[in-house]
Structure formats: structure tokens, C-alpha cells
Amino acid sequence: MQLIWFRTDLRVHDNTALAAACAQGPTLAVWLVSPAQWHQHDDAPCKVDFWLRNVAALSEQLAAKHIPLLVRTVDTWDKAPQALLKLCQEHTISTVHCNEEYGVNESRRDVAVQQALDKEGIAFSSYLDGLLFKPGSILTKTGNYFQVFSQFRKVCYERLHQSVPAVVRAPSAQAPLHVARDEVPSHVQGFPTPSPQLQALWPAGEDEAKRRLDHFVDEPIEYYNTERDIPSRPGTSQLSAYLAAGVVSPRQCLHVAMTHNRGEFDSGNVGAVTWINELLWREFYKHILVGYPRVSMHRAFRSETEALAWRHAPKELEAWQRGRTGIPIIDAAMRQLLETGWMHNRLRMVVAMFLTKNLLIDWREGERFFMRHLIDGDLAANNGGWQWSASTGTDAAPYFRIFNPHSQSSRFDEHGVFLKQWLPELADLNSKEIHNPASAGGLFGPAGYPQPIVDLGKSRERALTAFKNLPQRQVSGGHHG
């Protein structure tokens, strides 16, 4: 008997490990509930709820193929080898199949599982599945991981010109096994169930992911290169939660986008090319995670930035977290995060720069808060985004190019549509004042909306000084930007 161990690959279509297991014989499936591990990783309650709902949907789909899904609880991953070994022995499993996961803890877990199984003569096979390219397969001429996205992408393009990774067929139904599937819990202690409104924004299941993908490539993709920066419009795919949980694969996304773009990925429709470019950013940050494991251990990519004199300012941090900074674009964005589990990409950059530059608060505070609230929370992308914004990472924003939140607001939300959606207390302000209510004069400012907690000009200077005083950079490799 074969065992497929599901992790962040919660789908039956285009699932490499599932297809491989079924090709070898009768297959059983398992998924592990790991509450203490999830806490340690700051996984958001809404993300855990999204996993549970997707695992329940997956269990139904598997049942239709007579593949029973078992659920086991191991509080932390160091208990995974024992639990899986026991299950293998109970069901005389010959091979455990799974799709690779990246990150230090994930890799250590898999090595430990493999060793435990090996001792008992059980095979362990892992497969490339959640990425288009295996980490370590896209390297510089001298054999190092790329630190610059455009150079990384150039090699990705070369590879895609040679061959585009194929989509794997879903397995057909097997003969019924006499094993009962387990009930998938609807709730795990320590992770409160999110509001029904939040849940309704993110329906579970492969059909929903496919519907989003089809809808997106049907039209929005054409205008993606311009619409993607306007937070009040649904100009992006909103697939990140589905990609992070593996409810849809990057191969499926690439194929559908290319089909729409006459088979092209680096030419043709600018919207489609730009969108595929984002899939490659996703790829890039996962490769960075593997190539430079320190970023997965809360270390800055550029070690010289570890010396930055970050401010300890708990009140300001809390104002940022709660959307009470008095700077509307920041507050609207943070409220979107708290209520929906998602934030628009442009705003993620704006609020991250504000925290790390204007407030000069350590990017790790922001990274952790995002992780605790994002339904699409992903270590590689989140860390990459934070270190980009804080100018501590690979291919990061140069420290002297600091976004001004007011300018970002009037540029990307010109008429204040997004601001009014999330800050109803500002509804009466005109489209100029709304970006900076303090400019309307304190006495006439909207009731209940805070005064700005920081002077944008002075705090910008403070950040420039802090960065200028850093010792010389210690990371070799291309600076650019």
C-alpha cells in the first residue's frame, strides 16, 4: 500500500505526489494537525481555518476516488516520524509520498521522517510540485543562488523556452479500500474560527480556485499591469491563499495564463507577462529561502543591517497594528488586513515601508504581525516582502527611496474610494483632504479619527540617518535598484 502525505498541496489535480502514489498501487492519504507547530510559525487563525475547510473538501474529492483521508494530530513536527511510522505499520505501507516543502523546519522534519522510515525499510519519495523550478536548479554561472530577481528571471525564461513544466493528470478512482476515512476537524483549539464574513470571502476547494483563475484570465489579466496597483479595484487574481495552501498549483496558473496569451510567457499581452512575472517572484523568494536559510530564521539577508538601531516604540507599533496611525492609507490598509485576512500588494509595501522607515520599527515585528493575520501567509513571500520594504533583503528597495504614504494614497486611490470603504469616519472629506485629514486643520478634522502619530518629513530624515550610519554592506553580489 502507498501513503500520500498531504501538506500545502491540498488538491487532487496536478498533484505530483498523489499521482505518483496512485501509479504505484492502492493509496491511502494522511494529513497532520500540528497546533503547537503552527503557533510557533505564527500561522494565522484564518489561515488554519482555510486549511481545515480545504482539507474537508479534499477528503470528499479523495473519497470519490476511494482514497480514504486519515487525520492524525502531532502537536509539533518532532513527533511526525513516530506518528507516520505507526500509521505505516498499521497499514503495511511500502512508500510514503509527499511534495517538497521549503523552510528550515519543514526540511528538518522531512529528513527525520525519512530516517525513521528508512530504519524500518519503508521508502520515502518527495517531489517537486509547489514550484516551477527546483531550488538549486536556477543558479549563477559560479553556482550560487541569485540575489537579483531580473537575473533569476532571465534563467527562468531560458528554461521555459526549452520546456514548460507539464501539468500532472488527476488519478482515476481505485478499487475501494476497507479503511474508513477520518472526520476533518472544523476547529482546532487555539485558533479561533474567523467571522462568517471573512470565511465567505475565501470559499474552500479546487473548484473555487479554478473559478478564480478562469475568471481572472478571462479579462482582468489583460489590464493587470495597470489595474494591479489600484487597491479599490479587483485588478489582481486573489489566488494567493489558494497558491499558499496548494489548492491550485503554479503550473496550472502558468498554463492557463499562457493559453490565454497564445502560448507565450515573456511576450504578447503585457498584462499576462506581468502576471507571470509575479509567479516568478513567488518562485524567487522560495529559492532565496533555500539558498540563504538565515532568512528563514529571523535574520536579515544583509547582515550589516542587523546593526540598525530600530526603535522600541510599543504605542506606535500598536497604533499601526490597529489602523490608528492618523494616516488614512495606512489605517485603511491595516483594517483591510484585520477584516479580510488579505491586503493589496501595493498597500503591503506602503504599510511595511511606513513601519520600518517612518516609525523605524524592526521589520520582524511587521513580518510577525502579517503572518498572524494573513490568510495567504507564506514564510518566503512574507519575509521577502518585508525585507524588500525594510531595505534589508535581496534585491531590496534602496534605503533612500522611501514611499511617502500621502503621495502613494493620492496616486493609487485618487478619489479616496478605498479610503472611504475602510474609514467611514472620513466619508465627508473631499478627495484632496481625505489623503491627509490633518491638512484640513485640526479643529475641522473628522471626529474620532486620530491625529498623525508621526511627522512624515522628520521621520524620513531619521530613517535616512539611521541607514547612512550603518557599516559597509557585507553581502557580496549585485546591488541595483
Ligand X SMILES: Cc1cc2nc3c(=O)[nH]c(=O)nc-3n(C[C@H](O)[C@H](O)[C@H](O)COP(=O)(O)OP(=O)(O)OC[C@H]3O[C@@H](n4cnc5c(N)ncnc54)[C@H](O)[C@@H]3O)c2cc1C
Sites of contact with ligand X (CB under 6 A): 228, 236-240, 243-244, 278-279, 281-282, 285, 345, 348-349, 352, 370, 374, 376-378, 381-382, 384-386, 389
Nearer to ligand X, 6 or 224 (CB): 224
Nearer to ligand X, 124 or 363 (CB): 363
Does 278 participate in catalysis according to the annotation? yes
Does 310 participate in catalysis according to the annotation? yes
Nearer to ligand X, 181 or 282 (CB): 282
d(CA 50, CA 301): 30
User: With contact defined as beta carbons under 8 Å apart, do 233 and 142 qualify?
Assistant: no
Q: Which residue has the cell 479500500?
A: 177
Shortest spacing between CB 399 and ligand X, in angstroms: 16
Shortest spacing between CB 107 and ligand X, in angstroms: 19
Does 281 participate in catalysis according to the annotation? yes
Out of 105, 264, 310, 339, which one is annotated catalytic?
A: 310
Nearer to ligand X, 17 or 244 (CB): 244
Out of 208, 278, 339, 425, which one is annotated catalytic?
A: 278
Closest residue to bound ligand X by CB: 385
Does 342 participate in catalysis according to the annotation? no
Out of 202, 363, 388, 422, which one is annotated catalytic?
A: 363
Out of 5, 77, 202, 386, which one is annotated catalytic?
A: 386
Shortest spacing between CB 298 and ligand X, in angstroms: 15
Out of 227, 345, 404, 425, which one is annotated catalytic?
A: 345
Shortest spacing between CB 284 and ligand X, in angstroms: 7
Nearer to ligand X, 38 or 124 (CB): 38
Shortest spacing between CB 234 and ligand X, in angstroms: 9
Nearer to ligand X, 374 or 419 (CB): 374
Shortest spacing between CB 389 and ligand X, in angstroms: 5
How distant, in Å, are the alpha carbons of 219, 330, 337, 452 from that of 406?
Answer: 31, 9, 19, 12
- Report, as residue numbers or ranges, the catalytic residues: 278, 281, 310, 345, 363, 386
